[in-house]
Amino acid sequence: MTLRFPEHGSPEDRSATFRFPEGFLWGAATSAYQIEGSLETDGRGVSVWDTFAAREGAIEGGGDARIACDSYARWREDLDIVEHLGLNAYRFSVAWSRVVPEGRGRVEPRGLDHYERQIDEMLARGIAPVVTLNHWDMPEALMSDGGWMGRSSVDAFVEYAVAVADRLGDRVPWWITQNEPWIIQLLGYQLGLHAPGIRDLRGSLAAGHHVLLAHGAAYDAMRPLTSGRIGAGLNLLPCVPASDDPADLAAAHGSDGYVNRWFLDPLLGEGYPDDMRAHWDRAIGGGIDDIVRAGDEEAIGGRSDFLGVNFYTHRVMAAAEPGPGRPFPWKVVGTAGEVPRTDEGTEIVPGAFTDLLRRLHREYPGTPLLITENGAIYGDSPTHDGEVHDVRRIQYLRAHIEAMGTAMQEGADVAGYLHWSLLDNFEWALGYRPRFGLVYVDFRTGERIPKDSARHYAEIVRAGRVVGREGTAPDAGTLVDSLGAFG
């Protein structure tokens, strides 16, 4: 199937921006729980998100992921889209509960068979699999020992990682052990807004630490089983002060420790930062050394072949007194005045993306970077012509790819860009309202409709640089004739 792209105006109209290198990974990303559905198929066990979604009021709109995008059954259609967009990489996750249904012990071969078929098909189409092992869907059975709060979770994760790598390690070039440890810690165990829905500050610290410890242990166990690169994916948010007041400057530095350095430093061999150790020890009333034990930092550090970077926005910080619901001396205040925002209110700051990549290159030299998520919520739906004209997502996509290119021109070692997300999907506690996808999904029928942003992204990928005019996409007829509406 050949894609045709019309030219847009004269050469002077086309962006003379950074040309990305040969072999650069261009792709999109998804996660198992958000797209697969088929929760009772092929021996899958119960996950913490199944249990959480069953709680009254836990999911906006009362939805669940029993069907989602039906991608467990329709995965070939999804790969058709990836292939026809010209993408050479696809990030997806293996569902932990499909492989080790009870969390420990018995391995379910039907789950591994499914992912083996999917990976083999990707390789046959020239698409590099980027495989995430834990995208938040821990088996519910492991909650008997507190889930990630229990240190036994480390051994359970290693068993699972070994089962997957033993079957698939010869075919996977990129592995992401853990997705967004801070979100697991914060929303899952500190605030209780995500599965497993626990509110325990000390427990959240333990959970985040054990996620990192599991990364290190899994790296060691997987290394003999795969030649692929192994890393973790962090959601990184540059923290900027609300003013030049020294108190706000200190608040921004502290927030950076809480969100970014607490995970970056141990993963990349520097150990937990001392300033955040002090903040945490005070917040939990002492005893941090009972959680972060002797030898733990050495077992985490130096076990990252690359760093996965999930970038969405920044945090604007001001000083604030600790108190009920605020364990640390800072608060998020946002930017004063009118600023560009997504439909969910997230500030759009591509310049912060450039700054983040510069910082990672400067402070953690020698660590290759892979952009494992970057995207925005826009609620555009099909119009009278049946197409989705998501001009704002095109603008967002262009701005962030250009921001990444700027950092690369300055030396940042970025191996690829994986847009979040390929498909509109089940957006965790927010249900089905937010739409992140390059592809519109009608959740009643499962029909897939590539948006204008998908076509524009395909043109960028084909050219290896940002081309075309901002807010435009190739004529709908050319690519839609090829892609069709995937019903």
Domain limits of the chain?
11-483
Other CB atoms within a 10 A radius of the CB of residue 201 amount to: 14
CB burial of residue 24 (10 Å; 0-12, 13-18, 19+): middle
List strand residue ranges (DSSP E) for 108-196, in order: 128-134, 174-179
Query: What does the block give as tokens for 50?
Result: 């199944």
First to last CA, the chain: 18
Query: What does the block give as tokens for 324?
Result: 């009920």
**Going by DSSP bridges, is the β-strand pair 229-235/239-241 parallel, antiparallel, or unpaired?**
unpaired
Strand partners, 131: 92, 175
Does residue 83 carry a catalytic annotation?
Answer: no
**Going by DSSP bridges, is the β-strand pair 330-332/315-319 parallel, antiparallel, or unpaired?**
antiparallel
* 165/227 Cα distance (integer angstroms): 10
Q: What is the DSSP letter of 367?
A: -
Does residue 180 carry a catalytic annotation?
Answer: yes
Query: What does the block give as tokens for 390?
Result: 């998501």
Per-residue model confidence (pLDDT) at position 146: 98
Per-residue model confidence (pLDDT) at position 336: 84
What lies within 8 Å, CB to CB, of 239 at 6+ separation is: 252, 253, 255, 256, 259, 260, 314, 315, 317
DSSP-assigned letters across all residues of 217-241: HHHHHHGGG--SEEEEEEE---EEE
* 135/92 Cα distance (integer angstroms): 9
From the list 373, 402, 427, 459, the catalytic residue is: 373
What lies within 8 Å, CB to CB, of 245 at 6+ separation is: 319
Other CB atoms within a 10 A radius of the CB of residue 65 amount to: 25
For 11-483, give the CATH class.
alpha beta
Per-residue model confidence (pLDDT) at position 17: 74
Q: Are 338 and 347 in contact (CB under 8 A)?
A: no
**Residue 70 CA to chain centroid, in angstroms?**
20
Q: At what angle do helices 274-283 and 246-256 cross, to 10 degrees?
A: 90
Query: What does the block give as tokens for 269?
Result: 């061999």
What lies within 8 Å, CB to CB, of 293 at 6+ separation is: none
* 320/317 Cα distance (integer angstroms): 9
From the list 36, 108, 140, 180, the catalytic residue is: 180
- The model's pTM is 0.94
Strand partners, 239: 315
Per-residue model confidence (pLDDT) at position 255: 98
* 140/47 Cα distance (integer angstroms): 5
Query: Which of left, alpha, beta for 103 (phi over 0: left; psi -120 to 50: alpha)?
Result: left
* 282/103 Cα distance (integer angstroms): 34
Q: What is the pLDDT along the chain (487 residues), one digit of tens a residue?
A: 233 333 333 333 333 479 999 999 999 999 999 999 999 999 999 999 999 999 999 999 999 999 999 999 999 999 999 999 999 999 999 999 999 999 999 999 999 999 999 999 999 999 999 999 999 999 999 999 999 999 999 999 999 999 999 999 999 999 999 999 999 999 999 999 999 999 999 999 999 999 999 999 999 999 999 999 999 999 999 999 999 999 999 999 999 999 999 999 999 999 999 999 999 999 999 999 999 999 999 999 999 999 999 999 999 999 999 999 999 999 999 998 899 999 999 999 999 999 999 999 999 999 999 999 999 999 999 999 999 999 999 999 999 999 999 999 999 999 999 999 999 999 999 999 999 999 999 999 999 999 999 999 999 999 999 998 665 544 433 333 333 333 3
Closest C-alpha among 103, 101, 98, 97 to residue 116: 98
Closest C-alpha among 119, 113, 69, 89 to residue 25: 89
| Residue labelled with tokens 């853990």 | 178
Question: Quick one: CA dihedral 266, 269, 271, 275, positive or negative?
Answer: negative
* 480/385 Cα distance (integer angstroms): 12
- Alpha-carbon distance values, 20 to 17, 90, 122, 127, 244 (Å): 9, 18, 23, 18, 37
Q: What is the DSSP letter of 323?
A: B
- Alpha-carbon distance values, 56 to 244, 411, 429, 461 (Å): 44, 50, 12, 43
* 125/130 Cα distance (integer angstroms): 14
